[in-house]
Amino acid sequence: MTDKVKVLLALPVAAEQREQIEGVSHRLEVTSLSRAQRLAWREGRPLWAGYQEPPPSGDETPQAARARLDTLLADSEVILSNPMVPGDILKRAPKLRWLQLTSAGVDRLLEAPVVRTPAVDVTTASGIHAVPISEFVVGAMLAFAKGFPRALRAQDEGRWNAYLPDELEGKTVGILGMGAIGSRVAALAYAFGMEVLAIRRSVGSRHKGDGHVAEFMPPSELPYLLGESDYVVVAVPLTDESRHMIGEAELRSMKPTAVIVNIARGAVIDEPALIRALKEGWVGGAALDVFEQEPLPAQSDLWNLPNVLLTPHVSGGTPRYMERAIDLFCDNLHHYLDGRPLRNVVDVERGY
């Protein structure tokens, strides 16, 4: 490792956050891409709404931005980015040794050479989404229990439509995936007096839990969990194993009053099967923040189903998003400079 470690920030980072990064060590040489350079980095793809992109300020031409980007990439050892990484990054950044992502999932990059080369560590921001997403999940469960979607429709139509709300206390929530998000959902659900069932990949057999979870179970017990749950929370990473893990058979095994909440990836659920289940009453409702195709096509039946609550992949969004991402990045920078193992290194075999 050279005396100066060149760090490239491919995302809009506030001045105080850049100072925080630079304060990790005098060995760091930190460079932020300009707006035009970030556009060249993203190759025209839009920036996720969770990042605050400043307005244009007379940046260089696209040609000049691309040339400057290539110059910076040629010397970069560490890059901070979201999953929108150029496909030829290894060729353009031959000195790259570590790519820190601000996303928890890496499914968009899993087949990319940068993830599969042993010369580069790719790390995720797993853990920083636990607070906003767990609050989102509880909000979705409350929305269905209290009938907020139907109340808003009646309000829009000027109708006085009295109904009987339900409670979360005493209900059962089944959580698929017990990472940081699933664990915090369990804690919040427990605080509401719900019984928590959880599937964890590392569990060998069904057994009583401790703390917030009544029972832990392996993936083979999915039908049992689905049949027992009033709310099902999908919080697993998208891998070959989890793709369409919720299909027709699984949806038919759920209670007809149950609500499924997906904050993971759209492809974990077989979307056509879900639409049919919602139309025919196999399940009671769905709160969906992610979809198999994003943006959700205008012709999708999901838009018009009264038992569906849709949001445009924003459950992890929060004004504190980059604050938490930079805190994690700085901690990992200490690990990197000290030669210690990095946090959240992607395991290609596991898929996350």
Of 42, 129, 212, 313, the active-site residue reads 313
Question: Catalytic one among 294, 320, 334, 350?
Answer: 294
**Does residue 27 contact residue 5 with C-beta atoms inside 8 Å?**
yes
Strands (E), the chain: 5-9, 28-32, 78-81, 98-101, 121-123, 172-176, 195-199, 207-208, 215-217, 231-234, 259-262, 285-288, 308-310
Edge-to-edge order in the sheet of strand 195-199: 207-208, 215-217, 195-199, 172-176, 231-234, 259-262, 285-288, 308-310
CA distance 100 to 201: 25
Asked if 120 and 97 count as a contact pair (C-beta separation under 8 A), the reply is yes
Catalogue the E-assigned strands of 64-114: 78-81, 98-101
Q: Which amino acid makes up residue 5?
A: V
Is 294 a residue of the active site? yes
Residue 193, amino acid: G
Q: Which of 265, 271, 292, 324 is catalytic?
A: 265
The reply to whether 349 belongs to the active site is no
Q: Is 276 a catalytic site residue?
A: no
Kindly list the catalytic residues.
Answer: 265, 294, 313
